[in-house]
Amino acid sequence: MNGILQVFYIIFSALLLSAGIPNEILYLGSPFLGLFALVPFYLALRSARTFRRAGLLTGLHFGLMQLLSSFWLGNFKDFAIFTVGGPTIAYAIEGLIFGRFFHAALAFLDYTPEEAKLQDASFRGAGKTLKRVFFFAAIYSIWEWTKSVGFLAYPWGTLIMTSFQSKLLIQIVDITGTWAISFLWSLFAATLAEGIALYSIYQPRLNYLVKRMYFCIVMITFSLFVLDFIYGAVQYTKPRVIAKTADIAVIQHNTDTWSEDGDSESVLAAERMTAKAMLEPVKPDLVCWSESILNYAFPDSYFYYETSPAKKPFIHFIKETEVPYATGAPLYFIENGQQKFYNGVVVFDKNAVITGMSGKIHLVPFAEYVPLMDKAWFRKIMDALVGFSTGWSQWKQYAVYSVPLKTGDSLNFSVPICFEDAFPDICRNFYNLGAEALLSISNDSWSNLKSAEYQHFVIAAFRAIELRTTLVRTTNSGYSGAVDARGRIIADLPLFEEAEMVTTIPVYEHKPTAYAVFGDWIVIFFGLICALYFADCAAATYKKH
């Protein structure tokens, strides 16, 4: 395969994958497109003859995927240069590195291309072909895990997101996390692509050993999908113990919370929606408002909100409704002589007494947090380049809140802020600390696109299945809704509209899943197997030369 065709395959693969991820047409994504998306990617890498070439092709694929799937980051106002450019460049660079691992897995390190072709038809070559398929899938899973953890973590634009509507096939995430989905989907693509590659090499007649070897690969892949399906069917239909229920008011006020005119319009809109929710037959146990709806920092601003908005002061409104609230708000503290601002959540009881506050633990890279921003010289550069030099501070502690229920029981919950509901490690820690439900608050209205809202929802919904708990999302403009322990949408609101609902959510028996206990164990397993394989290949190459 020549270089131009390789680049075409890379672009085609990126287009397929971005079409399979939730977008402006397929709101919840397409498992079908996801299964086939990596076939051209595999074929391009399989034909790459050098580490450098494989690295460049992989870097192009990773960078393109970021742009094609998350183009809406360009609407992130003053931060667009960072939210679009920063991750795209970073993932392209990571692709240069991962491409070398892909090449090591797909190429024969101890044979020339001519010798490799002969080995394909040998007994030893049959085993190596199986390894090619397996290690491609393992490395791709490790890549999606790498993309989803750490400072640059960004779980969007992943193969995982294409699978959401395959409810029976994604139930396995309560054991493995989403990384098994990444492995299975990429394994399917690799198996198909390997068959295409072998046929193109040996047509019109395939060597018997090659046929037998490829049949074994197909059967292994098929068997893994069957096992996944059976497990999913059992888990999806299995009765789950509901310990209690809670009535949650989800308020979607649909206003511009980034307005420079203050937050009166947003607060009044949310109060209006809340008042309508209070007319529902069922009185809520808790009212949830979205991220950043309040502009002034707590705890000091408590007194400000006793008189603001002038038409209906927020604190007095809480007292009138006599219901606990959880709402997004900035936090301000002086720590070690330094001013610290946090993107946070404040929880009030029915008498408007603050019962807890916490901030965002995982900040948006290059937007909410820019490295070196604590250095005076760097702040001067930022002021000169983009006109700002401040950001949020990182909260250090996980918080679990409790509100009383009308039944006399109580609900223990945690509040992932913004895109924190996309991160398994954060939600896992909340759950392991005793959270019985996750009540996420977010503001994606700045995106102005449905694809951004649905992508955020889909990646967050996996947390409910991983932990077998309920996830409730309260957003500024969407996608607000509730997801049960099977990953089913049990309630939702329309996008970009003022809307409210009181939804009765199941609160399941707090019983840790395998994933809640062991975390990303499967990624560690893949990493160890790959490390041993590459070490063996390196030793064989060294011995030969």
Q: Which residues are catalytic?
A: 291, 360, 418
Q: Apex CA 464: angle with CA 458 and CA 466, to 5°?
A: 105
Query: Which residue is it, tokens 């680049």?
Result: 7
**Quick count: other Cβ atoms within 10 Å of Cβ 383?**
12
What order do you get walking across the sheet with 242-252 strand by strand?
A: 354-359, 338-348, 325-335, 286-288, 242-252, 499-508
| Sequence-ordered list of residues with C-beta below 8 angstroms from that of 371, at least 6 positions apart, any chain | 151
356 - beta bridge partners? 347
Q: Which residues of 412-436 are buried (b: 16+ CB within 10 A; e: fewer)?
A: bbbbbbbbbbbbbbbbbbbbbeebb
Q: Where does 275-320 show beta strands of DSSP type E?
A: 286-288
- At residue 113, φ and ψ (nearest 5 deg) are -55, -40
Beta-strand pair 410-414/401-404: antiparallel
Which pair of tokens denotes residue 9? 């395959």
Among left, alpha and beta (phi > 0; psi -120 to 50; other), residue 29 is left
- The DSSP H or E segment spanning 51 is helix 51-69
d(CA 423, CA 421): 6
Which pair of tokens denotes residue 324? 């606990």
| Burial classification of residue 24, based on how many CB atoms lie within 10 Å of its CB (0-12 exposed, 13-18 middle, 19 or more buried) | exposed
* Complete DSSP assignment for 213-274: HHHHHHHHHHHHHHHHHHHHHHHHHS---EEEEEEEEEEE----TT-TT-SHHHHHHHHHHH
d(CA 368, CA 364): 5
**Cα within 13 Å of Cα(157), Cβ side:** 26
d(CA 309, CA 264): 5
d(CA 193, CA 41): 9
d(CA 340, CA 139): 40
Query: Which residue is it, tokens 């098929």?
Result: 222
d(CA 334, CA 341): 9
Q: How many residues would you count in the chain?
A: 545
**Quick count: other Cβ atoms within 10 Å of Cβ 464?**
26
Which pair of tokens denotes residue 512? 């840790």
